[in-house]
Chain A
Amino acid sequence: MAETVFARPQALADVTTHYCPGCTHGVIHRLVAEVIDELGVRERTVGIAPVGCSVLAYNYFATDFHEAAHGRAPAVATGVKRARPDLIVFSYQGDGDLASIGMAEIIHCANRGEKVTVVFVNNAIYGMTGGQMAPTTLPGQVATTCQLGRDVATAGHPIRVAELISTLRTPAFVARASVHNPLVAVHAKEMLRRAFRYQVEGVCFSLVEILSTCPTNWGIPPAESTSWLEKNMLPYYPVGIFKTPESGSREPRPLPA
């Protein structure tokens, strides 16, 4: 009798996604789905899709879903969770969606301590609209609205969302992870598991920022995108836990060796 050792998570729909070759949105979807399965909450999970490349996430997860207006997913999540506190509610948002147009919604959702989970995908660019500068675009990084590279003198420095949210006094779980190689992806899954568990146990708001690739709009071949991420994004966006409800700490903790 053959034993199944690897299968599609139940919480992931059996469909082909539209993501570009080399895009890690799909990997992050899978990690989220695995965690939902492992916690056994698929039937009571409601996702909130953003506006961005993951706008069709509602087709890719086998859970109930809402599609939200650009940036408003945390507000929609608040509405769902307040109406049905027994549901497990997560939003899945890009950096333009969460850190630009939706900055007010995310800050206040976190500050109210809504017991929802935010999966924040940081790929340092606007993917869906064709490569404009994001609030997370790195200094000097070229985008279609900063064709000479991001000039921090006029565009400011990239926003570190995990650090920012962790300054709030309201108890929360806030972490940053990456998926550019299998080892860090295991850590990312662990962060997601902790984030969802805090919600399942009714403890606190949780947010996991996950560094992700966008070869299409970074203008590099898919095979090089993970090393680009490692070389350019990791130094500015350190991975680790920034805040837990127990400690209230906002000191970044390094990835365990």
Chain B
Amino acid sequence: MTKKLMKGSEAIGEAAVQSGCKLFFGYPITPQNEIPEYMSMRLPQVGGTFVQAESEVAASNMIYGAAGSGERVMTSSSSPGISLMAEGISYLAGSELPVVIVNIVRAGPGLGGILPSQGDYFQATKGLGHGDFRVLVLAPWSVQEAADLVQDAFDLADYYRNPVMVLGDGLIGQMMEPVEFRSDRTPIKELPPKTWAATGCDGSRPTNIINSLFLDPEELERHNHKLKAKYDRMVADEIRVATYGAEGDFDVLIVAYGTVARVCSTAIDELREEGLRVALLRPITLFPFPYEAVREAAVQARAVLVVELSSGQMIEDVQLALARSRPVHFLNRMGGMLVSPDEVVAKAKAILDGRSAEVFHG
């Protein structure tokens, strides 16, 4: 297979097309416009359909209709737009519909700014809409991984009949890197036919109804239990982590995800050259969060450093995992400012020298 130099947003779009995504509904918002623009050009070439929705509220309900018809469907947006999709996402989860949602996070709150941020970690992992539901959240750190995760996301969505979110930032969208699409790729899950889809009933089966309304509380509770069992299966089977520099011994464990983890890997190279033992653990799935993996890696270190582009969100999950068994330190930037490798190096050294104070959030 040959590698092709692609922009992250194009790779995300192409990955969706390669996955058999036939429909895209979205509304323009920076910094992810290149995804709908790519899809508007590409989908008609493969007999697919692109619709520019009148709003993200509408887009999230359009994907509901398309997914309920059994088609592979995607939308993409950025933070303020995802907030507007909260309604649709809740209904999608309640009705158990498979969709892929790409969220190229920008800095907030409110209109915020258009530069990279990780300020929507809480929203993505714990609060994408009203009601008791979860969405699988995948966080790539490279263009290739973004393309791979989008393809996996379609399989996971279909398998679990659940929305899957691919969470990136403007860096992932704009970066150009070589990407490979394997023509011999097979689904990562065994996917049963979508016999539940509302595709028109000719009398050969009972009618299929796509629905999240359960007026009988006992029935709704059974539905809630069924959903919970599904989320438990995700926790048991879908956790993905990567490590960097964790082969030998290490004194400090950095936990970071997405493009920030990449910055940290550069810092780790520098630290290792100076003989300082620092390693990285990178959650790829943010829900389910790799609590166990964080705990297992952290016990090998003296201290843990969480690096985030937020005021401190994933750090709460890290602290939950560690239950105060290791001191947790924090390095962050906000507002669209990036963490530099130098800042990570300096922070790691400060921890090793006892010049950094641990933090207690939450």
Contacts and interface: CB of A to CB of B under 8 A. Distances in A.
Q: Do A and B bind each other?
A: yes
Interface of A: 51, 55, 67, 69-71, 96, 100-101, 103, 126, 128-130, 132-133, 135, 144-147, 154-155
B28 A129 contact: yes
Contacts of B213: none
Given A96-B28, A126-B28, A129-B30, A71 B37 contact: no
Interface pairs A-B: 7 shortest CB-CB: A101-B55, A132-B28, A129-B28, A145-B40, A100-B54, A144-B37, A145-B52
Contacts of A55: 111
A132 B54 CA distance: 12
Contacts of A135: 54
Contacts of B57: 101
A55 to B, nearest CB: 7
B362 to A, nearest CB: 29
B80 A130 contact: no
Interface residues of B, number: 19
B27 interface: yes
B224 interface: no
A132 B32 CA distance: 12
A15 to B, nearest CB: 20
B28 A147 contact: no
Interface in B27-46: 27-30, 33, 36-37, 40-41
Nearest to B49: A154
Output the residue of B28, B40, B56 with the most chain A CB within 10 A.
B28
Interface of B: 27-30, 33, 36-37, 40-41, 50-52, 54-57, 80, 110-111
Nearest to B56: A101
Contacts of A51: 111
Contacts of B36: 132, 145
A82 B57 CA distance: 26
Contacts of B28: 96, 126, 129-130, 132, 145
Contact of A69 (B27, B51, B52, B80): B80
Contacts of B40: 144-147
A33 B180 CA distance: 56
25 contacts: A55-B111, A69-B111, A70-B80, A71-B55, A96-B28, A100-B27, A100-B54, A101-B27, A101-B56, A129-B28, A129-B30, A132-B28, A132-B36, A132-B37, A132-B52, A133-B52, A135-B54, A144-B33, A144-B40, A145-B50, A146-B40, A147-B37, A147-B41, A154-B51, A155-B52
A135 B41 CA distance: 19
Nearest to B57: A101
Contacts of B111: 51, 55, 67, 69
A103 B27 CA distance: 14
A60 to B, nearest CB: 17
A129 B40 CA distance: 16
Given A51-B111, A71-B55, A100-B55, A129 B29 contact: yes
A128 B30 CA distance: 9
Contacts of B33: 129-130, 132, 144
Nearest to A135: B54
A154 B30 CA distance: 24
A71 B40 CA distance: 23
Nearest to A137: B52
A59 to B, nearest CB: 14
B69 to A, nearest CB: 18
Given A67-B111, A144-B33, 16 more contacts: A55-B111, A96-B28, A100-B27, A100-B54, A101-B27, A129-B28, A129-B33, A130-B28, A132-B28, A144-B37, A145-B36, A145-B37, A145-B40, A146-B52, A147-B37, A147-B41
Contacts of A154: 51
A51 B84 CA distance: 15
Nearest to B51: A154
A212 to B, nearest CB: 18
Contacts of B51: 154
Nearest to B40: A145
Contacts of A100: 27, 54-55
Given A69-B80, A145-B36, A101 B52 contact: no
Contacts of A155: 52
Nearest to A154: B51
Contacts of A133: 52
Nearest to A155: B52
